[in-house]
Amino acid sequence: MEFRNLGRSGLRVSAVGVGCNNFGMKLDEAATGAVINAAIDAGITLFDTADMYGARGGSETHMGAVLGAKRKDIVLASKFGMDMDDSGRKRGGSRRYIMSAVEDSLRRLRTDWLDLYQLHQPDLLTPIDETLRALDDLVRSGKVRYIGCSNLPAWQMVEAHFAAELANIGGFTSAQEEYNLLNRNIEKDVLPVARKYGFGLLPYFPLASGLLTGKYKRDAMPEGARLTTMPKFANRTYVTDANFAKVEALDAFAKDHGHTLLELAFGWLLAEPATSSVIAGATRPEQIASNVAAAGWKLTAEEKAAVDAIVA
């Protein structure tokens, strides 16, 4: 397993991480434990969850129940900010809410600290410096080691960077964003900001909800798969004739180079210098093994340029 620094910090993370959104939803406690143990055995250290994963708290609860002594061996990341109730009160990035949310996450995860605590989405009602000061207090208290953001627009990442500098406090170390061969929107502004100011990029949906695994065909959508059973993912502009054409061309390119489409999807993301770890979900231990193996293709500059031309 390759290890990389998380942004400009000294925190080392596995180049492949586990997205824990399926825990507590698709997976019960036993299945969660099987996936976590397989990941640790494969050398993965980064596990990324959120308070709202698993029907609001289920993912953290299942992880807390199965990690046990292995907690100390992993980089445990969670997120806050999305709705945790139906009233609209338990959400956002205010100091009042953050101090409550972190205690809830620590309790569910059965741990005394989070290695990475991330603002899950923008909160335009709360000044970013208030959010950063509250998070800095958590770092100083030892309950959080590093802080990050997710789904923030480029302008707010820049604002957060300079707000932290002006306040002489720690800023966001990482930025978690949707990024894959079929969705390159962050290249317009978010990626340049990450490169310039040292945010460690944590791409999620690296396989475009499964379209980059090769199991989906224009005329054969498999039963039980995410894009088949969950139309909201199919409607994320992934399932289009243009994308199927790209997938077919990418698959041919990978085969010509002695690799699989899955390996190309991971290798392309890891060829980006700003990428610290690729966050990939899993529902079975076998998927963990496939994801780890897929990270082995180190694309050359020429290969990267050829792939970029295919998905331009």
Residues with active-site annotation = 53
Q: What is the pLDDT of residue 222?
A: 59
Q: What is the pLDDT of residue 256?
A: 97
For every one of its 312 residues, what pLDDT tens digit does the chain have, with 9 covering 90 and above?
A: 999 999 999 999 999 999 999 999 999 999 999 999 999 999 999 999 999 999 999 999 999 999 999 999 999 999 999 999 998 899 999 999 999 999 999 999 999 999 999 999 999 999 999 999 999 999 999 999 999 999 999 999 999 999 999 999 999 999 999 999 999 999 999 999 999 999 999 999 999 999 999 888 876 655 655 555 555 554 556 789 999 999 999 999 999 999 999 999 999 999 999 999 999 999 999 999 999 999 999 999 999 999 999 999
Q: What is the pLDDT of residue 238?
A: 79
Q: Please give the torsion angle defined by the CA atoms of residues 98, 102, 103 and 104, in that order, rounded to the nearest 10 degrees.
A: 100
The tally of CA atoms less than 13 A away on the side-chain side of residue 226 is: 20
CA distances from 3 to 16, 66, 305 (A): 9, 24, 24
Rg (CA), the chain: 19
The tally of CA atoms less than 13 A away on the side-chain side of residue 241 is: 0
Domains along the chain with CATH numbers = 3-211+261-300 (3.20.20.100)
Please say whether the beta carbons of 181 and 208 come within 8 A: yes
Q: What is the pLDDT of residue 183?
A: 96
Buried b (16+ CB within 10 A) or exposed e, 22-48: bbbeebeeebbbbbbebbbebebbbbb
CA distances from 71 to 46, 86, 102 (A): 11, 31, 17
Helix (H) or strand (E) holding 261: helix 261-270
Closest of 198, 213, 185 to residue 286, by C-alpha: 213
Q: What is the pLDDT of residue 147?
A: 98
Q: What is the pLDDT of residue 223?
A: 63
Phi, psi of 111 (to 5 degrees): -140, 160
Handedness of CA 125, 129, 130, 134 (dihedral sign): positive
Please say whether the beta carbons of 23 and 49 come within 8 A: yes
pLDDT in tens, 140-154: 999 999 999 999 999
